[in-house]
Every structure is written in C-alpha cells, then in structure tokens.
Amino acid sequence: MNFLDYLIEGLLAVPAPRIWSNKIIPGIRASGWIQSDALLNNLHSIFAWFVFPKVSQWKIDSLLAEEKAKDIKVEHKYSRNQRAKSLSNQAALHLVSFLQTIIVLYLSIAFLISNERGVIPYPDPASRIFADTRETRVICIFAIGYFIWDALISAAYSTLPFVMHGVVSTAMYAIGIKPYLQYYAPVFLIFELSNPFLNIRWFASKYLPSENRLASRFQLFNNLIFLVTFFLGRIAWGWYQIVCLCYDFYMVSDDPIYLYWDSLIIVAGNLVLDVLNAYWFKTMVGVAIKAIKGGAQKKREDVKKAC
C-alpha cells in the first residue's frame, strides 16, 4: 500500500460518533429523507471526507498567512494583511482542490485499469447498471464529499455554472451509492483529469516570475496540457460515455429494478455537465487564441520599433 491507500483507508475507518448512530441516522431513516441503507451506513464517511478538506484548508490557510505576514512591512499593514490573507486563502483552496482531485482520480483510474484487466469485471449492461462492489461504493463516498465541498466553495467564491456543476454532480453520485449505476462513478470522474493542471496554472500565475523564460515556458506547457486533458476528459470521453450509458439504460429498461426517474436525472445531469464543459472549452480556446494573437501583434510591434 502507498500513502494514498493508507490515507483513504484511514478516512474510511473513522468510526461514527455514538450520537450519529443512535440519533441522527435513525431520525433521517424515520423521516424518509434518505431511503438508501448504503447511503445511510456510509453517511459518516461522506461527512468525514467533506470535513477533512475543510480542516486542511484552515490549517494550510493559517500556515500560509503566517509565512506571508513575515514579509509585510509596517506601513499600510492592514491593507497588506488583507491582501495576504486573501491570497493565502485562495492558495489553500487550490491546494486542497488539487489533493482531493488526485485522490478521486487515483481511485477511479485504478478501478478502470482493474476492470480492463478483468480483475473487477463488468461484462454486460446489467452489471454496469446494477452491480455493487466495495471499490465503487468507496469511489461514490469520496465523490459525494468532494462535490459537496466543491458546490459550497463555488457558492462562496465562484459563479453559478460552477455551483451547478457541484450540485448536479453531488446528486448523481448520491444516486450511485443506492446502489445504482456504480460502474459509471469512476468513468465520469475522469472528467476531473484536467483539474490538477488548472490548480497548477493558478499557482504558477501567482508565484512564478512572469519575466522568467523558464517559468513562462512551464506555464505554457502546463496550459497546453490543461486544454488537452480538458478536451479529452470532459468532451471526447464525456460525450462518448453518455452514449454508452444511454445504451446500457436501454438494454436494462425492462428489468423490474430499473429506476426510471433516477436514470432520467443521471442522463439529464450529464447532459447539463457536457454542455457546460463544451461552453467552458470554447471560452478557454477563445482566450488562448486571443492571447496568441496578442503575443504575435506585440512581437511585430517590437520588430518595427527595433527597425
């Protein structure tokens, strides 16, 4: 086992508090708000995975703020402290997001490789829709906590489309832990493949010197990887897998345990995410083209001045 395996197993092994088991879960079960026993039995693990990044964020934010404060001069201390606090808070958010993404991608890619090798086989539509394994339950647990955190952070710091992304994703993975459609949990988490490079891009833009040629080339290389992985993970892979999902739904639609409304929510949610991803990719490509044209124009102007 490597470090990530130990971290994941440690988070899953966190016991439920007595009040959680004796009061909260029976109350939720009695209210009918959550009917899935699988979801109720793992709710404390989802909560632990949601709280873990928040605690990590506070700790990282505190350490970064202390380090940044050492470089702040006495004059204009309040405004500089505010800026340092804001930057350190953003850095903590991006670092936690980076670590979370690494964990969910690690789980998802390991599962897909095992499935490809036949270690965890899903040979037919029925198994892909109805099968329930520990590996896929764990992936759903981490995905729910990840997207709850993502939705709340987006509500506080970002725009409506990002909030929608977090809310829709949370709903879809909550359906997956029923259990239902668990095979597709790691499949659609490949959407997050570009996220580490997005966070690296933020750190590079804030902390690397823009006038340094090596730093500029690193940022350009990272931005190219980000665009490529965004297209491959969210556009090419995403649209292909929604077709596969609809085919599997069609093949099992006569099964008595087929969940019509849940399936409809999953398909509609994925279509919303696919449209958002296409819109974001179009926007990013437009920004990249504009930047390239601007750089070429500046180079021509510099040549004219030199002449």
User: Phi/psi at 71 (nearest 5 deg)?
Assistant: -95, 0
> pLDDT tens track of the chain, all 307 residues?
678 888 778 777 777 778 878 888 888 778 765 666 766 777 776 666 556 555 555 555 555 555 555 554 444 444 555 555 566 667 777 787 888 889 899 999 999 998 877 777 788 999 999 988 888 888 888 888 888 888 888 887 778 878 888 888 888 888 887 788 889 999 999 999 999 999 999 888 888 887 888 888 898 899 999 999 999 999 999 999 999 999 999 999 999 999 999 999 899 988 888 888 998 899 988 888 887 776 555 555 554 555 5
Q: What angle do CA 213, 218, 221 make, to 5 degrees?
A: 125
Q: Report pTM.
A: 0.79
Peptide bond before residue 179 is cis, with ω within 30 degrees of 0: yes
Q: Where do the domains of the chain lie?
A: 3-306
Yes or no: say if 218 and 89 are a contact pair by the CB < 8 Å rule: no
Give the C-alpha separation, 113 to 274, whole Å. Answer: 24
Give the C-alpha separation, 272 to 173, whole Å. Answer: 15
Burial state string for 198-221 with b = 16 or more CB within 10 A and e = fewer than 16: bbbbbebeeeeeeeeeeeeeebee
224 torsion bin: left (phi>0), alpha (psi -120 to 50), beta (else): alpha
CA distances to 53, 121, 192, 238 from 102, rounded to whole Å, are 13, 24, 9, 19
Question: Which of 138, 186, 191, 176 has its CA nearest to residue 262?
Answer: 176
